[in-house]
Structure 1
């Protein structure tokens, strides 16, 4: 157990055998934060009580198994005074939830969405205190410095440039997406390139005299779960001279917006932007000189009228995305030109995309042979899990099939899905110009993603792929479909057993279906089910008649006793429900 407050008292530790409940002595001299015990193989649990005068005490427990001697276990993984433990709340985005927290404890909070993350402010609420409502992830998302300040600085005659925060929301929550982003940085002065880097950081030796520098940072960001912020370019100019240690006076512009929905989409009416410029570690007067927007990914730009309150943009109904270009300056010769491609979404659905090059190595990528789950529907029961499922496809490249790709299943429309299941994709070069890709869907609990009965049915497969250099790209929004069905249960009970020939046999049963909102099996009413018969000694089932499930899912029909054999009900299934045959119930006819 670890804590910064080494004066904490009541640091008692106890150890028990979990199978026999036998107490195991521990060596905990002077109630320190560490204890040792001599344990044979077995199952155990440890408890630790920790308290500080004037605050609440805590009882911490952890179970573990000893397979061999020599292992060491912590009651709770801890660093400093933090527990190191995060409690996950899963929900489909956009969504809302209320968190209930132990009073007097400082809670750190993270938001993970696919490969993206946001780092929220810590919260510490008193007893009975209600926190303020927060909106997380509101766009347009812009580069920022984070809560702890940028690490871009000068130390004597060396510049250390580090700008990792590319996805700050309008509430100031910093975020990033390192696994799906690529960044390049270029530092120059007087038209001469001093240093370049293909990363988020760069360090360069510079002369002591004051001079004007230009820093260009470009980040490309492609993820099948995120359609926005596909390219972010910052071009700063700033003056710097030798100093012991100081932050560089780069310009930032915080952007707020009204008129966007919960998906950062302009669905109607103007979008009002607020623009707040500033210069880091400086009292320089900073202003926004120009705001431009584009509905065609920067092919053409339209200037918006900028006032002290910001600017207003009327988004055309045919726009799928809106890009922003902001130009700012200060009175110390500093400037910033920030271009965010697809800063927010427009009202229109985007079309499939292709990006190719021309000339000797021209051509476009192609996606083919998309197969999900071997071409079979996927059945999900009440546990919210499914067996390992994969999707396979090929990507052809006219030059060299070294491919990076992503895939996601979605339900609903492409820009406004009501369900998403991500996949982890690995592509290998099969031939010089063909890459084979396999997408693996995680088999953990999917109840947070499938928490609506409306999600049963056809799901769409969206795939993007690009070559290693990023010069050729393809994005197909509906490359294939796969059906997700609710699991069903079906029973059969034929009576009487045995039965005299020509007497009546009553065949009862019940049909139920997985409910993805309660995660239980519930009666499935109004469904037509076939009654089938297998004569003793035969190998094929024959249909006798049909029955319809009542409001309780019950089935009941009769048939004359002709010969010995087995009865079963067979449900063919529908677009949202899996077909199933019940277990057979044999009847001897005498």
Structure 2
């Protein structure tokens, strides 16, 4: 599920339309899972807020009961930054531990659990990113299970703003439908159990960066000047393009032909439009490249080495 939580609201409670399935994925196997999760969570949040359209009509709000399931050991992307490109579908692996009493049957066909990440405040997040499908769990004892799942992030479907880059948190949810069919007119949400637990550590979500490099002239006479140019860009999630990134420290590296290790030559800063330019003295055949360490909101990148022939 991909949720931009600020898309819609009804008197402070998240509106169900905020969980709508994008048209490009409306027919995929994950759409039913996402829609059903949205329905259950919306009912719980509407009841908690006391400000839903149902409250406004002075009608009692039905809600799922609190499912006795807890989460721990949530590890997102093996602790590595989640780097998302301008148009990519990024699949983020997550592992977690699920704990439950013996009377909660996690092997039931209509029991689902899964991880997600959110930005902002748990329960009133600015953005949430879910997986297309629920996680899978393997029992380790009668009351615990080792689980894994994915978070699917679609950069080109409007679910990320550039301001979303940075700190996120992780969470887990579980739903026990107990024989209830969310698509049925007789669906009784009060018989459905929901556990939703946040506050776990997640790596930062970062905008992907790219680097180019060109060393010239080529060939060059030993002792003469080589000019190494390039460009640093980063993903723009709002235009689905890559835009120049200025004012960033970038390291020029050199690897002599016949060796396997790049060595730092000098550090420069990208200028307007992400442009990179510096000079070095030709010494021997080899490869030049730029490398960028990244920051809290932008991922690291390294250009493919450009060979220079020194005569």
More off after superposition, 535-544 vs 426-435: 426-435
Separation (CA, whole Å) in 2 of partners of 1:507 and 1:226: 59
Which of 436, 457, 463 is residue 166 of structure 2 equivalent to?
457
1:393/1:468 Cα in 2 relative to 1: closer, same or farther (>3 Å)?
Answer: farther
Which of 424, 427, 441 is residue 151 of structure 2 equivalent to?
441
Task: Say which SS state the counterpart of residue 78 (structure 2) adopts.
Answer: helix
* 1:371-450 matched pairs, under 5 angstroms: 371-386=75-90, 388-399=91-102, 402-403=105-106, 404=111, 405-423=113-131, 424-431=133-140, 432-442=142-152, 446-450=156-160
Contact 1:525/1:550 (CA < 8 Å) preserved in 2?
yes
1:473/1:547 Cα in 2 relative to 1: closer, same or farther (>3 Å)?
Answer: same
Task: Say which SS state the counterpart of residue 485 (structure 1) adopts.
Answer: strand
TM, length-normalised to structure 1: 0.40
1:498 and 2:219 are equivalent in the alignment: yes
C-alpha RMSD over aligned residues = 3.6
Higher percent of residues as helix:
2
TM, length-normalised to structure 2: 0.72
Match of 1:565 in 2: 286
Which of 65, 71, 76 is residue 367 of structure 1 equivalent to?
71
Which of 290, 293, 304 is residue 583 of structure 1 equivalent to?
304
1:378-428 CA distances to partner (integer Å, 9 max, x unpaired)? Answer: 222121422x33322121235366334343221122233222212232343
Paired residues, what number?
269
* 1:234-249 matched pairs, under 5 angstroms: none
* 1:149-188 matched pairs, under 5 angstroms: 179-180=36-37
Match of 1:228 in 2: 45
1:450-484 CA distances to partner (integer Å, 9 max, x unpaired)? Answer: 1x111112221121347788999754211231322
Unaligned runs of 5+ in 1: 1-89, 97-110, 117-176, 182-220, 232-256, 266-272, 277-325, 327-337, 343-353, 357-364
1:576/1:178 Cα in 2 relative to 1: closer, same or farther (>3 Å)?
Answer: closer
Separation (CA, whole Å) in 1 of partners of 2:221 and 2:118: 56
Separation (CA, whole Å) in 1 of partners of 2:130 and 2:156: 11
Task: Say which SS state the counterpart of residue 163 (structure 2) adopts.
Answer: helix
Unaligned runs of 5+ in 2: 9-15, 22-33, 179-190
Q: Which has the larger radius of gyration?
A: 1
Contact 2:67/2:176 (CA < 8 Å) preserved in 1?
no
- Greater relative CO (CA pairs within 8 A, separation 6+): 2
- Give the Å deviation of 1:178: 8.5
- Give the Å deviation of 1:489: 1.5
Separation (CA, whole Å) in 1 of partners of 2:96 and 2:5: 28
- Give the Å deviation of 1:429: 4.3
- Give the Å deviation of 1:230: 5.5
1:274/1:228 Cα in 2 relative to 1: closer, same or farther (>3 Å)?
Answer: closer
